[in-house]
Amino acid sequence: MTPPDLATELDRAAALVAAAHRIVVLTGAGISHESGVPTFRGPGGLWREHRPEELATPEAFANDPRLVWSWYGWRAGLVAACEPNAAHLALARLAAARAGDVRIVTQNVDGLHDRAADALSAGTATAARAAACPLELHGSLLRRRCTRCGWHATVPDPADARTVEDGGALPACHACGALARPDVVWFGETLDPAVLDAAWSATERADLCLVVGTSALVHPAASLPAAARRAGAAVIEVNPEPTPVTPLATVSLRCTATVGVPELVGV
Ligand code: NAD
Ligand code: ZN
């Protein structure tokens, strides 16, 4: 049974969603937790005793590309075994139903929002699929790009990073053959300016900002809810734990993503 205070807050949040004209949704690792993808800061966030901050850096890759590719291979294997959950699917349906007025911005690199968009359209390129396609602020661990030339894969790369851990070849660029790297933004790197601009403009235009499953510690993504608030938007947070977004949230839903999101988006 839903506790009464959560039920009341869910009603308030659902009313805000129904009344909003333009919505920006910011998601983090927490939305994928119930799909089985570990968050960095929760239990299971370590890999072979390494903290993500030691592996997700350009320096770590320069020092030991095999170690870093092994970690990404392990993560790619985890994600391949997971499915989008009810929260990813509800957001995809909301974005499709209100095409052009809802923008999903994610810090996740797991491709699950994209797979939820695929689930809407059975993998075909429809307007609904395009509307539900997220802005991936930190890239995707399923794609790769070259460390030397400008080549980057536009779709998940079939070459299997999962064999690296067992001594397989390191992934190579399809254009020049140099070492490829995961197409993600590492600690200390800057975000793709075009993706960041699109996220800012969606935030500035929004009258509602929905923040799901992020500890709101990694900037610039973490600045988006405060920017939305300053621009006059309401802010709804869905997270079992308080975060730096909590003090500025209009409504904080202390529940998991699969409990809160489907109910409040109402599609
Ligand atoms: P984080 O690990 O710092 O924080 C996760 C947040 O999700 C926490 O606030 C936690 O309370 C909340 N949470 C946990 N379970 C939840 C649930 N079931 N429903 C709702 N919320 C839940 O994640 P972050 O803020 O996204 O920042 C970490 C960085 O690491 C990001 O840059 C991201 O790219 C990367 N990362 C991505 C993935 C992924 O792609 N799935 C996984 C781990 C880390
Ligand atoms: Zn190249």
Q: Which residues sit opposite 75 in a β-bridge? A: none
Sign of CA dihedral 123, 132, 143, 165: negative
Ligand 1 atom closest to 32 (CA): 41
Name 145's bridge partners: 152, 181
Please name which ligand lies nearest the alpha carbon of 210.
Answer: 1
Dist. CA 81 → ligand 2 center (Å): 30
Order the strands of the 251-253 sheet from edge to edge. 135-136, 102-106, 23-27, 208-212, 234-238, 251-253
Encoded amino acid at 163, one letter? T
pLDDT by residue (tens digit) across 168-204?
A: 899 999 999 999 999 999 999 999 999 999 999 999 9
Residues whose beta carbon lies within 6 Å of some atom of ligand 1 = 28-30, 32-34, 37, 39-42, 107-110, 138, 213-215, 217-218, 238-241, 243, 256-257
Ligand 1 atom having least distance to the Cα of 41 = 2
pLDDT band (50, 70, 90) for residue 159: low
- Reduced 3-state DSSP string for 109-120: CCCHHHHHHHHH
- 63-81 pLDDT, tens digit per residue, is 999 999 999 999 998 899 9
Q: Which comes out higher in pLDDT, residue 51 or 61?
A: 61
33 annotated active-site: no
Ligand nearest to the backbone CA of 75: 1
Nearest CA to ligand 1 atom 8: 215
Q: By percentage, how much of the chain surpasses pLDDT 90?
A: 77
For ligand 1, atom 21, name the residue with the nearest CA.
Answer: 213
pLDDT at 1 over 60: no
Instruction: Give tens-digit pLDDT for 185-194.
Output: 999 999 999 9
Q: How many angstroms separate the first and last alpha carbons of the chain?
A: 21
Q: Which ligand is nearest to the CA of 174?
A: 2
Q: Which atom of ligand 1 is nearest to the CA of 40?
A: 2
> Among 33, 88, 113, 138, which one carries the catalytic annotation?
138
